[in-house]
Copies of this chain bind each other. A is one copy, B any other.
Amino acid sequence: MARSRAMTVDVDFGEDGLVPAVAQDADSGAVLMLAYVSPEALERTIETGRAHYYSRSRDELWEKGASSGHTQDIREIRVDCDADTLLYLVEQNVGACHTGHRSCFYRTVEGENVGERVFDPADVYDD
């Protein structure tokens, strides 16, 4: 596909300094998770080629998979029309979800489990 070159998009981090980022499996297209990204997290993601986020509960920058090893290698970063949401296209190592599922969206809202379990959290997290 012919791609037009243009200016780097100015991401609108808004009042709280964070934007939501959707992580999508670059191969299967599965939506894996949603987390929040600060300017520094985006910078680190671009620099390292591995997905970084900002934890609102722990109030800190984190690299996905830093403790579990289930890192996300970035293939492409997209931004939406309003430049206030990111899409990380990633190569997900093992699974994205701390429950052991490949994707955090493993349930329907009716409570049916439609997800694939790819690891046992007891083997991965000490807690």
Give the B-binding residues of A (Cβ under 8 A). 1, 3-9, 11, 20, 22, 24, 28-31, 33-34, 42, 46, 76-82, 85-87, 97-99, 101, 104-114
The interface residues of chain B lying within 8 Å CB-to-CB of A33 are 80
- Return A114 CB to nearest CB of chain B, in Å: 6
Residues of B within 8 A of A110 (CB): 6, 8-9
Partner of A111, one of B6, B30, B34, B85: B6
Q: Is the interface of A mostly helix, strand, loop or mixed?
A: loop
Residues of B within 8 A of A6 (CB): 107, 110-113
Known pairs A105-B87, A109-B11, A109-B86; A34 contacts B4 (CB<8 A): no
Residues of B within 8 Å of A24, CB to CB, are 31
